[in-house]
Amino acid sequence: MSQLPKYNQTGQTIIFAFPNHDLQLSVLTSAIIRVFENRGDPGQSYAIEGKKEQPTDFTLKAVGDHYELTTADLLVKIDSDQHVDIYDATGNPLAIDYRGKRQLLDKGVDKVHECLVEAEGHSVSGSTTGADSSYFQVVKSLAADEHLYGLGDKTGYLDKRGFEYDNWNTDNPAPQMENFTKLYKSIPVMYGLKNGHPYGLFFDNPYKSHFDMGKESPNYYFYSAVDGNLDYYVLGGKTLKEVISNYTYLTGRVPLPQKWTLGYQQSRWGYSASQQEVQEIADSLKKYDIPCDAIHFDVDYMRGYRVFTWDKDKYQGDPKKFVTSLKKQGIKAIPIIDPGVKKDPDYDVYVDGIKKGYFVKSPDGKVYINKVWPGDSAFPDFGRPEVRKWWAHNDKFLTDIGVGGIWNDMNEPASFEGPIPDEVVFSDQDRQSTHKKMHNVYGHNMAKATYDGLKKYQDKRPYVITRAAYAGTQKYSTVWTGDNRSIWPHIQMMIPQLCNLGMSGFSFAGTDIGGFGSDTNAELLTRWIEAAVFSPLMRNHAAMGTRHQEPWSFGEPTLSIYRKFVKLRYRFIPYLYDLFEKGTKSGLPVMRPLVLNYDNDPRVRDLNDEFMVGDSVLVTPIVEKSETKRLVYLPAGDWVDFWNNRQYTGNQDIVVNAPLDKLPLFIKKNTILPWGNPVDHISDEPDKTMTFKVFGDQGSYDHYQDDGTDFKYQAGEFNHYTLSVNDDQVSVQLPHHGFKPAYKKITVELPDKQVILSYDAASNRYQEK
Ligand code: MIG
């Protein structure tokens, strides 16, 4: 054992002088500590904005063969071999550097054959190898009882243990199964429950990185990156909830969305090829009585796939007129925008971008061209602030037409003519950089630019949906999970995928309901709309050329069941909106795996076919073909069957019947839930009445109301209601009345009676009639 290194302390940062790289520890809060080794990569974080360090008490002392840095929540030990070991405040190990021998996976293949296999196009898993000298890795011990979560949108199961993943934003249309190591997003945050003790690690490095979550060996997991600095944050907290709250404190929280964005949305690649087709969809939604708030316009509305154009010939000469008329029908238009700008000397966006030098370039200085939808295209250099401003300005074309939001696709960035080479010149803010570094933050920067444009030109809370993302993109954009398929494994995957996205900060997320690629069928579509009734983003979307999957496509009984669940969704929108509002402060997701609410319960640590919405709604959908009954695990507490009020005690498995038209749904006993009015669209007009349902015989609830559209709530224009029910006594208070049109009437539905209260303006109180 060599000597302990010297150290230097400046404020809350301590730099330990190790031979190769200094090791820097910064105390941001008592539960967030940054571990940093400067390996020469310049620049700042894309995930973290603003100063996150708070004045925090900590101690640092040498104890025998190591240093101990102690805060109220964490203990970090540093020894002379540069091991970084993290414990919680009571000394439970959380993330301990692995000291044993590596046990490389035996794949029965030697190096020569591995190359041959890869040359044939079959990549050998774990291929992020240390070929490059800038490559590094971090190896941490795994306990026998340790479960791993997070990593954003990755495929597979809730517990990531035993699998490996890459972070390199990728558009791969093959059926995305558990053996896929990468998808569209790079969100390098992972959580562990080690012997029941929660923690998180966020690796803030945009370069290609790899997580082996105990696949190589059950004794350790490791993270590696091909380049950049070693830069990670240790996240503590007494519960998994607190750890996630700390992660979202660091990288930001999903802002309050416009309320209508929680409504049902209809989409299909191809609709927007003509005004008539879109109008027919709107008409059918009305005719078949399916509430809806938005229709998405895929690439076909544009003039030859040129972004920021709208083919007037397809829209009777006036897209604005049509978009306005749709809006009057209660439906917002959400056009798609891809990053690729068509190479065309007669196209103003291209000409302007060339003139200003806003596209990425080959190392020889020529504008880099690859093929996407419009054919030869140039790629905006979104890492540059000026380019983001320019893009935001282009959004005005769409906001002038009156769109409800913007859908960003292909921003991994995807390209048809081979991948963009690593050395293509991209900017890292104003510094010259490479595709190698900027790839994983390309979608992030595009989404941010789009957010800024909408905010500037709409005066509403921007509604952006992006496919590619990096950690922190949740501040700017909703996400969808890309090109899934109409297959049963993908309705199954929806649950762990959206739950892990939620724990990774992205609580506003959804899958393509019904499946994007391949042909859906009546049963799958039915079960999907049931399972997705609480999906934060609720959109049915399908690929061109696949069997139609609009709610009416299969006739009855699909249509009626579909309608029933979309209508149920609208009843729950005030609850979802409340959860989003609470999430702006807590950073907790709307849709949650059970482990998040019950991290002490070993039964729920890899539960993949149940989830919760907030703290009190338990959803246990059927996600297996031909199944009409299922086992439901009820966690601790008492539960009320939503459909018949039957009560169950928790901590047990029950068998429930679930014929095709039933979604098994349970509400925690003694919960109060707001219950939206039956509507066809979320209106911008304030609700005059609100209903609350009581499950059980008592409870309390905080409810939030504002205009649902703009930023006035930030200046106090919102209402905060508190309800309490106790021994049949119902009381409603309005502790904050900043949004003028408070509900005139509030109905509280108890199991055996209704209590109606009305607002008395003179006293600013609710009184029973
Ligand atoms: O190469 O715009 O994920 O939702 O419908 C396909 C067409 C490009 C991929 C998106 C999908 C969208 C499709 N896009």
Tell me the CA–centroid distance for residue 759 and ligand 1, in Å.
Answer: 49
Measured distance CA(74)–CA(69) in Å, rounded? 8
Tell me the CA–centroid distance for residue 748 and ligand 1, in Å.
Answer: 45
What atom in ligand 1 is closest to the CA of residue 299? 2
Query: Quick check: CB of 298 below 6 Å from ligand 1?
Result: yes
pLDDT score of 125? 47
The amino acid present at 379, given as its one-letter code, is F
- Among protein residues, the one with the nearest Cα to ligand 1's atom 6 is 410
Query: Quick check: CB of 413 below 6 Å from ligand 1?
Result: no
Q: Where are the beta strands (DSSP E) in 276-400?
A: 294-297, 332-337, 341-342, 369-372, 375-378
Query: Nearest Cα to 386, choosing from 427, 424, 339, 349?
Result: 427
pLDDT score of 595? 98
pLDDT score of 676? 98
Say if residues 397 and 423 touch (Cβ distance below 8 Å). Answer: no
Measured distance CA(691)–CA(746) in Å, rounded? 6
Residue 467 parent element (H or E): none
Given the residues 79, 293, 381, 409, the one annotated as active site: 409
**41 is a catalytic site residue:** no
Say if residues 40 and 29 touch (Cβ distance below 8 Å). Answer: no
Tell me the CA–centroid distance for residue 409 and ligand 1, in Å.
Answer: 7
Strands 146-150 and 189-194 come out as: antiparallel
Tell me the CA–centroid distance for residue 481 and ligand 1, in Å.
Answer: 11
pLDDT score of 133? 81
Q: Which two tokens stand for residue 330?
A: 């209660």
Given the residues 483, 599, 610, 706, the one annotated as active site: 483
Measured distance CA(223)–CA(150) in Å, rounded? 14
Q: Using omega within 30 degrees of 0 as the cis cutoff, is the peptide bond preceding 462 cis?
A: no
Say if residues 154 and 470 touch (Cβ distance below 8 Å). Answer: no
**400 is a catalytic site residue:** no
Say if residues 681 and 291 touch (Cβ distance below 8 Å). Answer: yes
Cα–Cα distances in Å, from 349 out to 377, 383, 397, 443, 444? 11, 18, 11, 19, 21
In sequence order, the 6+-apart residues with CB closer than 8 A to the CB of 500 are 149, 150, 151, 152, 153, 154, 158, 160, 593
The amino acid present at 206, given as its one-letter code, is P
Q: Which two tokens stand for residue 768?
A: 């029973």
Burial of 758 (0-12, 13-18, 19+ CB in 10 A): middle
Regarding pTM above 0.85, the answer is yes
| 108-134 residue pLDDT tens | 877 777 666 665 555 544 444 556 788
| 60-76 residue pLDDT tens | 999 999 999 999 999 99
Low-confidence stretches of the chain (pLDDT < 70) are 1, 114-131
Measured distance CA(619)–CA(154) in Å, rounded? 22
pLDDT score of 104? 84
Query: Quick check: CB of 269 below 6 Å from ligand 1?
Result: yes
**412 is a catalytic site residue:** yes
Q: Is 224 helix (H, G, I), strand (E, B) or coil?
A: strand
Query: Quick check: CB of 220 below 6 Å from ligand 1?
Result: no
